[in-house]
């Protein structure tokens, strides 16, 4: 492999976009100013086209305008586009230290070399040398972001899984923006292209890369990996602008399609509401005798093992409570199964009816793993308890019981808390033995409404 110079010079300045810095800066600012502000949160990822600015620039601007509020937050951009000049297998990184445009130099992220540990990622400067699918995005980024490093990636022939793994490895936090470069259909008449691009856009909106091919999007390879990862991580996707060259500056007998999308992450605070929604839908499906599987959002947190208790209240009174003290199945399964059991199988209450379900309010307790406690006596155990914080599991001679931390609200005294828990386990309040075991845990509490 022939090494690239320390700075990769512009390859398409003067053809795809203006070579004069002042003219280029004014052109980018003009296109961005034409996009009205939306107030939407800054995206985690963007999909934008890569043709000449006269053709696709306004569509790309509709994506980049979403970065207005994040100019100081984003310090790294991962930019992936398809290979147009060099045929190869895998994903190619650059050995350059910076990429240059008429607006200046963009330093490359030195950690990009760490991707070489992933099978299928190769150092391939030839793939970057004349590639326009990355370069045309840089002036937009240089205009909007205060200061950032660039991780440029050219996708050759690569499976969606490899692309998704690479993007996952560099996903980062709010400091990292992912940009996927892709045009849509090529060289059809206007009506045919419009129909084809509409079909592709619908597939992208469904996060379904299997529903279109390279004829539908020239960046199908990087797009496929992003959509695969977006579905895995539960990203929300929003179409911003879908047009073709016949709408912007070209004739309508042979057009190229363009589209832009913004993808945002599900806020962490939304996860409890997702879980509470799953719990309620699981109960309602049982009430209507539906046997088809409950659709589960494809979120990593829902696939991880988790332990929870689901509690039902009706008119302010306890109506059922069932849970798992130990994580042994996926969190989504634990929530839905415990919700159904709390509604229909708590032996203290009759099954919930459809008529009263509208009065039922659900609560969810997400438990940390129980930690065994070491103590020499009951007094020692009581001294270690943290009222309002600790949930407690006790066991002795085949008797066992659990109190959630929420019980402290009704029983704030540690001795009374332990005494009531012993009674729940079928022991006397003053029971004690050398075989008495206790574990404590904490719980995050969430409530509908």
The pLDDT of residue 4: 55
- Which of these, 191, 411, 406, lies nearest to 308 by C-alpha position? 406
The two tokens of residue 136 are 């045309």
End-to-end Cα distance, the chain:
60
Q: Who's near 291: CB < 8 A, 6+ residues apart?
A: none
The pLDDT of residue 5: 65
The pLDDT of residue 2: 43
The two tokens of residue 322 are 């069932």
Q: ∠ CA 413-418-422 to the nearest 5 degrees?
A: 145
In whole angstroms, give the CA distance from residue 39 to residue 264. 13
Instruction: Read off the pTM.
Output: 0.65
C-alpha torsion sign, points 115, 119, 123, 124: negative
In whole angstroms, give the CA distance from residue 41 to residue 59. 19
In whole angstroms, give the CA distance from residue 447 to residue 449. 6
Domains in the chain, please, with CATH?
7-264 (3.40.830.10), 270-367 (3.30.700.20), 371-447 (3.30.1490.150)
In whole angstroms, give the CA distance from residue 218 to residue 159. 15
Q: Who's near 80: CB < 8 A, 6+ residues apart?
A: 91, 134, 152, 153, 154, 155, 163, 167, 178, 179, 180, 181, 222, 225, 226
In whole angstroms, give the CA distance from residue 328 to residue 242. 46
With a cut of 50, list the residues of the chain below it in pLDDT.
1-3
The two tokens of residue 380 are 């020692």
- Which of these, 192, 177, 230, lies nearest to 70 by C-alpha position? 177
The pLDDT of residue 288: 87
Contact (CB, 8 A) for 441 and 367: yes
Q: Who's near 25: CB < 8 A, 6+ residues apart?
A: 103, 139, 143
């Amino acid at each position: 492999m022939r090494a690239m110079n320390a700075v990769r010079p512009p390859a398409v300045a003067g053809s795809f976009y203006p070579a004069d810095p002042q003219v280029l800066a004014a052109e980018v600012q003009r296109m961005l100013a034409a996009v009205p502000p939306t107030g939407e949160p800054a995206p985690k990822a963007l999909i934008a086209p890569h043709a000449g600015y006269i053709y696709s620039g306004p569509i790309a601007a509709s994506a980049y305008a979403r970065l207005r509020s994040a100019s100081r937050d984003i310090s790294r951009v991962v930019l992936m586009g398809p290979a147009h000049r060099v045929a190869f297998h895998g994903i190619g990184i650059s050995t350059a230290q910076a990429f240059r445009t008429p607006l200046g130099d963009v330093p490359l992220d030195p950690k990009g070399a760490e991707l070489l540990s992933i099978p299928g990622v190769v150092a391939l400067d030839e793939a970057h040398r004349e590639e326009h699918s990355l370069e045309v995005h840089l002036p937009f980024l240089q205009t909007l972001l205060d200061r950032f490093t660039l991780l440029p990636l050219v996708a050759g022939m690569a499976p969606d899984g490899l692309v998704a793994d690479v993007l996952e490895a560099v996903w980062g936090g709010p400091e990292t923006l992912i940009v996927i470069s892709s045009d849509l259909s090529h060289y059809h008449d206007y009506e045919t292209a419009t129909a084809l691009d509409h079909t592709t856009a619908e597939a992208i909106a469904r996060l379904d890369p299997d529903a279109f091919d390279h004829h539908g999007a020239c960046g199908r390879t990087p797009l496929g990996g992003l959509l695969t990862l977006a579905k895995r991580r539960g990203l929300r996707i929003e179409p911003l602008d879908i047009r073709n060259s016949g709408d912007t500056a070209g004739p309508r007998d042979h057009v190229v399609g363009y589209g832009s999308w913004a993808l945002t992450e599900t806020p962490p605070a939304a996860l409890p509401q997702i879980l509470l929604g799953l719990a309620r839908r699981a109960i309602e499906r049982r009430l209507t005798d539906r046997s088809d599987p409950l659709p589960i959002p494809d979120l990593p947190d829902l696939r991880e093992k988790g332990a929870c208790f689901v509690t039902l209240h009706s008119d302010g009174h306890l109506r059922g409570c069932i849970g798992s003290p130990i994580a042994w199945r996926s969190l989504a399964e634990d929530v839905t199964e415990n919700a159904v059991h709390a509604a229909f199988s708590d032996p203290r209450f009759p099954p919930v009816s459809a008529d009263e379900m509208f009065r039922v309010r659900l609560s969810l307790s997400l438990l940390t793993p129980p930690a065994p406690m070491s103590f020499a006596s009951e007094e020692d155990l009581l001294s270690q308890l943290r009222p309002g914080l600790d949930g407690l599991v006790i066991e002795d001679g085949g008797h066992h019981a659990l109190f959630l931390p929420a019980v402290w609200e009704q029983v704030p005294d540690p001795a009374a808390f332990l005494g009531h828990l012993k009674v729940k386990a079928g022991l006397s309040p003053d029971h004690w033995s050398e075989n008495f075991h206790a574990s404590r845990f904490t719980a995050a509490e969430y409530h509908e409404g």
